[in-house]
Structure formats: C-alpha cells, structure tokens
Amino acid sequence: MSTYTNEQVARLVDGSLDWETTFRMLSMPKDGSRFEQYLAALQAQVKFPDRIVLPLGPHLYIVQSAKTKQWVTQCDCGHVFGDYRENWKMHAHVYVRDTEAAMTEVYPKLMAPDTKWQVYREYYCPSCGTMHDVEAPTPWYPVIHDFEPDIETFYKEWVHMPLPERAG
Ligand SMILES: [Zn+2]
C-alpha cells in the first residue's frame, strides 16, 4: 500500500521538492510502489520513447534505449551522454565561473569566494542547454563523478521491481 497518491507523486515530478528530498523519500524502504508511481509519472512527462530506469536529476535519467536496449544517460530532450557507467559530465558542455564577477552574477548570496580556492563548474546539455549540475570544487579538482548507483540492488532490495533488460 502506498501512502502517496499519483497526484502527489506528479507534484514531485514538477520539481516542487528539491531533488535530495525527493530521492530520500523514494529511497525509503518498504514502499516500492512509490518509486513505481514516480517512474510512471516521469515517463508520462518525457517525450522520448526510451524507458526510464533511474532518474539522476530533474532533467537527467538513466534510460533503456528503445532501439538498442542499452542503458545510457539521457537528457529530457533525448540527448545521449553515453553509457550509464561513464561520467556523463565528460560529455556535457562545461562553463567554469572562476572570477568573482562571474560568480556573483548567479550566486549573489555567497560571500564572494576566493577564486584561488573555489570555482563553479556548470554542466549543460549540448543539445538543449539545460543545466544538469553545478560543482563548487577547488580549481584543480578533477571532474566529480557523483555516484555509481547500484541499480540492481536498488530494484531488487528496495523497490522490488523487475530490472529492465540491459544490452551491452
Ligand atoms: Zn538536453
């Protein structure tokens, strides 16, 4: 029994909740149907025919390609960032804000960080220009690969759903 209605889940999809909260809610055990609902709501919203395996962010997903059955990281717009095990950021457009002027332009609330110690890296979809992530590392820090989700375990142990087929 799910404690969430389809409508409430659809509101999650709208982005009225931040991603971290959303993911924490979805990851709560013993309520697998919530994830299933969430996937269905997401799937209804996107325009591509590929099946969503795992959302990575408000506009970024791991999907099962409708054509090849391979799992890839994909944008809302259908742009493919490559195999789901690869770091999608390596295939994104990157904008680095490494001057005080560039930073305060979009992050005015911050106390003008010292650009010797911190820069902002923004990752954009090369096709539609959606920003998928921002990092605030030290300038020399390599591109951060957020996490490699254990999708098999997630499907089996947490949400109790059959794992979508995967080629390659
Ligand atoms: Zn895109």
Distance, in Å, from the CA atom of 43 to the CA atom of 51, rounded to the nearest integer, reads 7
Tokens 């999809």 appear where?
A: 13
Whether 12 maps to a domain, the answer reads yes
pLDDT value for 139? 79
Supply the range of the domain harboring residue 100.
90-135
Q: Does 23 score more than 80 pLDDT?
A: no
- Helices then strands, counting H and E runs in the chain, come out as 5, 7
Q: How many domains does the chain have?
A: 2
* 48 Cβ contact list (under 8 Å, min separation 6): 63, 66, 74, 78
Mean predicted confidence (pLDDT) in 40-52: 94
DSSP E strand stretches across 58-162: 60-64, 71-75, 80-83, 93-97, 120-124, 131-135
Taking residues 16-36, what's their average pLDDT?
Answer: 63
Q: Does residue 17 belong to any structural domain of this protein?
A: yes
CA of 81 to the centre of ligand 1 (A): 9
Q: How far is the CA of 11 from the centre of ligand 1 (A)?
A: 22
Q: What is the mean pLDDT of residues 73-80?
A: 96
Residues 128 and 65 in one domain: no
> Is residue 168 one of the residues assigned to a domain?
no
| Residue with the larger pLDDT of the pair 71 and 1 | 71
| pLDDT, mean over the chain | 81
Least-confidence region, from 73-77, 112-116, 153-157: 112-116
- Token duo for residue 168: 């390659």
- pLDDT over 90 (residue 22): no
* Gap between the terminal Cα atoms of the chain: 35
Residues 20 and 77 in one domain: yes
Q: Give 126 Cα–ligand 1 centroid separation in angstroms.
A: 7
Compute, in angstroms, the gap from residue 157 CA to the centroid of ligand 1.
31
Residue range 137-146: mean pLDDT, rounded:
77
CA of 92 relative to ligand 1 center, distance in Å: 10
On the question of pLDDT at 1 being above 50, the answer is: no
